[in-house]
Amino acid sequence: MGCAGSKEVYAAHSGTEADYKSMFEEKRVLGQGEFGVVKLVAKNGSPDSESLAVKVLQKGFVFRDNVLYPPMKPEKLKLEIDILQALDGKAFNLALDSIYESSSKIYLVTEICAGGELFEYTSRNMAEGLRTEEVSRIAHQLLSAVNHCESRGVLHRDIKPENIMFKANTKSSELRLIDFGCGALDLNNERGKEHVTFAGTAFYNSPEMFQKRYTSKTDVFSAGVVLYVLVAGYPADRLQAAFNLLHKAKRDLKTLPGMPDGMPDTYYEMLNKILTYNWKSRKSAKEMLNDEFALFHQAKKGRMQRTQSVVLLGTGEKAAAGLGFVKFQRSLTTLLAAMLERGDLLSLMSFVETKVSSDDKLDSKLGAIEVKDIKLILETMGKLDCVAAIEKQQNAKIYDGSSYDYTLLKPFTEKQNVKHERENPDQLSGSLRFSIKNVQHSVRTLSSSERPKTVRKLGRAQSGI
């Protein structure tokens, strides 16, 4: 991996690269993303000190795996740093330890979350099933994090299971709200103002986010969707149905796909308050901290008769299934981005959007299409190698009827030569427009009998039904 540097200062009051190297010892790599790598570190000379994590970000262009990635937008990283500093690592939000910077890199040192993401954590620690008090504890901590964000003028705008991690791999571990890359920060005189910039992940977004007129209560709605999938699993095979129900003003949340037996009425009462369609009528996170179900985990035995401590059977399996699909979706995105040229990705996105817009059962707001339809479009494009690679992914056949978030591909369509193609549209229009026209026609006219059949439906644990 190589990169070109930048002299721009991303973080005020940061230390130097030399300061970082003198302060920390790098242990091992924990993960790698588009802009850099995450490593386990420990402070030098302090063998008993708590381990930390460092995100090493490249400031310039990065060349990796035969792909040239553009530099991070300085204003985006500066804002994320400002948000982390404003939150000060309190109320279950990720704690920023320190920042260091060189001409080519920036080092963000944070607390480490060894328990993993939400689905990973629950599938490991609650394999036999979540208990109602564990759901209550997670709800209270997540609402506490959202309330603290609101109190500091922060909108997260992308609350979802992947952005909720746990400090330790134990049942009693605290959660942490992470990744404020989609966040916004209101100044003191701007608190409560309406925002108009679309952000986040469609399935978890509030109705007002799609209307592009929202406040911090958009995060409350997203937290509610997370608390739904916490017990019901991610409804990958019924995503559109779940989305449609969540975005109705009047609905029965007990009919959401995958809801387990034995959920107390107090849970549904909490969920109804958090998922109220009209944001002006929706309870704030602060108000919800005193909700009966959210307080259940703190109550003395027998004090709350309407909520009982029971094991919610199947919830551990649903978490494992949700984790499996998240991994598959990431693999599918990486695979398509690696195997397809940018022009082909643009074509694929156009074909997908045509399919979605022509299907009355699909909503373009959700931005999802079944995996089998992605494969069908790729076959029509002649990308049989891509189809073969998809089918080699672990449990690929199980996910044929699951909904893939195709908006994950959009960043890869904007990476290279965007300026050149905007200034020279005719150079793009020839073969690409011809290809789009022919494949759109093929997608519209294919009969159901020509479409690949799902090998088998999701099992009960995977579907959450």
Average pLDDT per 10 consecutive residues for the chain, totaling 465 residues: 57 85 92 80 81 88 62 84 95 96 92 96 96 97 98 97 96 96 87 91 98 97 98 97 96 96 96 97 98 92 80 96 96 94 96 95 95 97 97 94 96 59 35 33 37 27 24
Please spell the DSSP secondary structure of 299-350, one letter per residue.
SPTTS-TTS---EETTHHHHHHHHHHHHHHHHHHHHHHHHHS-HHHHHHHHH
d(CA 404, CA 278): 28
- The encoded tokens of residue 137 equal 């504890």
Q: From residue 218, how far is each of 183, 208, 221, 333, 419 by CA, in Å?
A: 12, 7, 5, 27, 34
Instruction: Report pTM.
Output: 0.85
Q: Which of 65, 82, 88, 158 is catalytic?
A: 158
Query: In the CATH scheme, what is the code of domain 116-313?
Result: 1.10.510.10
d(CA 273, CA 177): 21
In the prediction, which pLDDT does 301 show?
A: 67
d(CA 463, CA 465): 5
- The encoded tokens of residue 452 equal 């690949």
* Inter-residue contact 133 to 292 (CB < 8 Å): no
In the prediction, which pLDDT does 305 show?
A: 78
Instruction: Return the closest-CA partner of residue 203 out of 243, 231, 250.
Output: 243
* Inter-residue contact 427 to 421 (CB < 8 Å): yes
d(CA 394, CA 81): 37
270-273-275-277 Cα dihedral, nearest 10 degrees: 160
Instruction: Return the closest-CA partner of residue 370 out of 325, 338, 437.
Output: 325
d(CA 392, CA 389): 5
- The encoded tokens of residue 127 equal 């394999």
How many residues would you count in the chain? 465
d(CA 401, CA 399): 5
In the prediction, which pLDDT does 195 show?
A: 96
In the prediction, which pLDDT does 260 show?
A: 95
Please spell the DSSP secondary structure of 10-36, one letter per residue.
-STT-EEHHHHHHHEEEEEEEEE-SSE
In the prediction, which pLDDT does 461 show?
A: 26
CATH class assigned to 2-111: alpha beta
265 is catalytic: no
In the prediction, which pLDDT does 99 show?
A: 95
- Show contacts of 61-69: CB within 8 Å, 24+ apart: 61/3, 61/4, 62/1, 62/2, 62/3, 62/34, 62/35, 62/36, 63/1, 63/2, 63/3, 64/1, 65/338, 67/338, 67/415, 68/415, 68/416, 69/34, 69/35, 69/415
* Inter-residue contact 127 to 320 (CB < 8 Å): yes
In the prediction, which pLDDT does 76 show?
A: 86
For residue 395, is it left (φ>0), alpha (ψ between -120 and 50) or beta? left
How far apart are the two ends of the chain, measured CA to CA in Å?
A: 44
Ordered by start, the domain boundaries in the chain are 2-111, 116-313, 325-463
Scanning 358-424, the segments in alpha helix (DSSP H) are: 371-380, 384-391, 410-413, 418-423
Q: From residue 310, how far is each of 127, 131, 135, 291, 451 by CA, in Å?
A: 14, 5, 11, 19, 44
d(CA 88, CA 107): 18
